[in-house]
Amino acid sequence: DSGVTQTPKHLITATGQRVTLRCSPRSGDLSVYWYQQSLDQGLQFLIQYYNGEERAKGNILERFSAQQFPDLHSELNLSSLELGDSALYFCASSVGLAGGPRDNEQFFGPGTRLTVL
């Protein structure tokens, strides 16, 4: 158990809908990362938040958005869903920007499997 929790574990929805994925980082971790794992794109970095602020953006679609709340949990919002958005969405957390490289080791949550029908 990494200490990172994600809900829900599975989500099935229809095209055009909007969903919210939730992540709680490990206690003490300030950074939260979102990754998407799909069959055709592999594992891709979407976005990072550090202590409530967006820190880095990867291959995140405009239909997707995220935020990190004062209690450090994060939510990934996916809207106007398409079939191709079906994937496993991981949240990871790390201590943050301070410290040495090992302090930035990312611990992954169990993932949310999204199926768009």
Partner 1 sequence: AQKITQTQPGMFVQEKEAVTLDCTYDTSDPSYGLFWYKQPSSGEMIFLIYQGSYDQQNATEGRYSLNFQKARKSANLVISASQLGDSAMYFCAMREYNTGFQKLVFGTGTRLLVSP
Where does this chain bind partner 1 (CB under 8 A)?
A: 2, 31, 33, 35, 42-45, 48, 55-56, 58, 88, 90, 92, 94, 97, 101-102, 104-111, 113
- Nearest-angstrom CA–CA distance, 12 and 21: 12
The nearest distance, CB 74 to partner 1, in angstroms, is 14
Compute the half-sphere exposure of residue 101: CA atoms within 13 Å on the CB side of its CA. Answer: 0
Q: Which is nearer to partner 1, 79 or 108 (CB)?
A: 108
The nearest distance, CB 110 to partner 1, in angstroms, is 5
The nearest distance, CB 94 to partner 1, in angstroms, is 7
The nearest distance, CB 47 to partner 1, in angstroms, is 9
Q: Which is nearer to partner 1, 35 or 64 (CB)?
A: 35
Report the greatest alpha carbon distance in the chain: 44
**For 39, phi and psi rounded to 5 degrees?**
-65, -40
DSSP output for 49-68: EETTEEEEE-S--TTEEEEE
